[in-house]
A and B are shown apart, each in its own frame.
Chain A
Amino acid sequence: MTATAGLGFKPQHFEAAVAATVDGLWFEVHPENYMVQGGPRLAMLEALRTTHPLSLHGVGLSLVSEARPDQAHLRRLKDLVDRFEPFVVSEHLAWSVWADVYHGDLLPFSRSRSALDAVACNIDITQECLGRTILVENPSLYIALPGHDFEEVEFLSELVRRSGCGLLADINNVYISASNLHFDPAAYLDALPATAIAEIHIAGHAPDPELGTKLLIDTHGTAVAEPVWDLLDHLLRRIGPRPVLVERDENIPEFASLMVERDRAAFALAAVQPGA
């Protein structure tokens, strides 16, 4: 698929989304919201994918775990992948499930050698089951942990090398982690293996209500911040065009106002198209 700009799909935008004829527009959904047996949710996704390319962005596989991915969850994911034929399937470098509790967030860990083995194994199992490669997304980090054997970029690069997975570069997450943990976001992006990056996310964040900008929170509840747009340009100049997604999950505005941000991403992509 050519590298164009997409939008996180929200059911309340269904009619406008299906009717949108903008060149290159695609949509991304969380597969967990469509893991049902039948009914209007699946019918809606079926209609959407007949008009636009679709991407599945999982939040529930909990890849960072010595336990293997939940077989029932993986089977449901495979059913959706087989039925809706997304152009890309992605997950997170994080965990969310422990002792049969789902924690509703993408949780951190120490990037140790044994963790690398565990995550690489879980990516292998997932890709084997789905019969295709997946992309792995860098998380937003709020606390520094001890016990790292790898920088995050090294860890991700090693996963790419071992499993053949691709990367989903979430620039908003890089910006948040860099701000909270005090590193240079541009240097982080510069170190990501360019050929592995198959999708880019941008989204809005917010300062902590009490600490302000000392602690940035990945809310997906506001417009994309200017420094994130700058980092998008920065990354695109190095690696060239890739599918870019505007994510929004809280304070969801009208479809048209999200499309304004999506069009700005399309504009950023146009600037780095070969021959531009």
Chain B
Amino acid sequence: MSDLAKFQEAFALALRGQAGSACNAGFAADTPGFAVYKNNFTKASIDALVANYPTIERLVGSEWLGACAHAFLEVCPPSSPILADYGAGFADFLDGFEPAADMPYLGSVARLERLWFEAHAAADAEPMSVAALPRDGEGLAATRLRLHPSVRLAFFDQPAATIWRLNRPPADPSDDDLAKIVWRAEGLLLVRSGGEVRSRVLSAPDHRFLSLCAAGEPLEGCATGALERDPTFDVAALLADLFELETFAASPATSPLTGDN
């Protein structure tokens, strides 16, 4: 190993609190000067994680999240200079984080934060207009809807989606709002439209319908799958909501963005 590589290895270890080889590499890790580098590394990482999980901060407070981010940093430091992307493994970490044991929904809320970032940063695509749907029943049944690249779907056995929606800043829920949370399984659709990420809580059949769309099923198959979950499922009502949210991408033939993505 070259001198530069030896130095960088020792310096990087010392930044993470393992200063064993610092002396041999020509620097002292216990000086105020070194502490500036160490603080910068720690602060940049923790600030990025906190910025990427604003709903978690709202739920647990800055101090709790700061301490948690510190613990996360020790096992999972940033792997890329794109700090908006930092924390992909944070939800799994929270699931096993002892001090979060009395908030079993926290990991799922963190999963939704991460999906929000993915939706926010996803590729652009022209949305499909509802007017582009075939008018005849047969054509409609055979239509395969393409999800917009920003669409993210999730389903949890807890009301994590409602908790996330109520607490995502700048939302400021009242005690009444929080008291109305029903403890049930539910899902969430995230989709970017008009430059903003929007969300809709999904029932089990809603989620089934969209998952089948994502798998490339024609509309008839999507509706059948949803109806198996709930015979009263209203496909027309869901579709109206989904088109309003710009959930579907225009077909390549009519999209001006073809070839750019």
- Interface residue ranges, A against B (CB under 8 Å): 32-33, 35-43, 59-60, 62, 64-66, 73, 95-105, 107-110, 112, 114-115, 118, 142-143, 145-147, 180, 208, 210-211, 215, 217
CB-CB under 8 A from A101, the residues of chain B are 12, 16, 77-79
Docked pose: A208 CA to B37 CA in angstroms: 12
Q: Which of B9-68 contact A (CB under 8 A)?
A: 9, 11-12, 15-16, 26-28, 31-34, 36-37, 40-41, 43-45, 48
* B26 adjacent to A146 (CB under 8 Å): yes
Binds A, one of B115-123, B135-143, B157-165: B115-123
Shortest CB–CB separation between residue A276 and chain B, in angstroms? 39
| Contact for B4 among A38, A42, A110, CB less than 8 A | A110
CB-CB under 8 A from B36, the residues of chain A are 142, 208, 215, 217
CB-CB under 8 A from B120, the residues of chain A are 36, 39-41
CB-CB under 8 A from A104, the residues of chain B are 40-41, 43-45, 48, 78, 83
Knowing that A32-B82, A73-B80 touch, tell me 7 more A-B residue pairs with CB under 8 angstroms: A35-B82, A38-B121, A39-B150, A40-B120, A60-B81, A104-B44, A110-B7
Docked pose: A145 CA to B33 CA in angstroms: 11
Docked pose: A118 CA to B2 CA in angstroms: 11
Shortest CB–CB separation between residue B72 and chain A, in angstroms? 14
* A105 adjacent to B44 (CB under 8 Å): yes
Shortest CB–CB separation between residue B257 and chain A, in angstroms? 9
CB-CB under 8 A from B4, the residues of chain A are 64-66, 109-110, 112, 114-115, 118
Q: Which of B221-260 contact A (CB under 8 A)?
A: none
Given contacts A59-B81, A104-B78, contact A142 B3 (CB under 8 A): no
Show 11 A/B contacts (Cβ-Cβ < 8 Å), sorted by A.
A39-B192, A41-B120, A60-B82, A65-B8, A73-B81, A102-B83, A108-B37, A114-B2, A118-B4, A142-B33, A143-B34
Count of chain B residues with a beta carbon within 8 Å of a chain A beta carbon: 46
* A66 adjacent to B40 (CB under 8 Å): no
CB-CB under 8 A from B78, the residues of chain A are 101-104
Shortest CB–CB separation between residue B203 and chain A, in angstroms? 28
* A102 adjacent to B149 (CB under 8 Å): no
* A39 adjacent to B122 (CB under 8 Å): yes
Docked pose: A41 CA to B48 CA in angstroms: 16
Docked pose: A208 CA to B34 CA in angstroms: 12
* B32 adjacent to A66 (CB under 8 Å): no
* A215 adjacent to B32 (CB under 8 Å): yes
Docked pose: A217 CA to B4 CA in angstroms: 25
Judge if B170 is at the interface, Cβ distance under 8 Å. Answer: no
Nearest residue (CB) in A for B124 is A38
* B12 adjacent to A143 (CB under 8 Å): no
CB-CB under 8 A from A143, the residues of chain B are 27-28, 31, 33-34, 37
Given contacts A103-B41, A114-B2, contact A142 B123 (CB under 8 A): no
CB-CB under 8 A from A114, the residues of chain B are 2-4
Shortest CB–CB separation between residue A211 and chain B, in angstroms? 5
CB-CB under 8 A from A118, the residues of chain B are 4
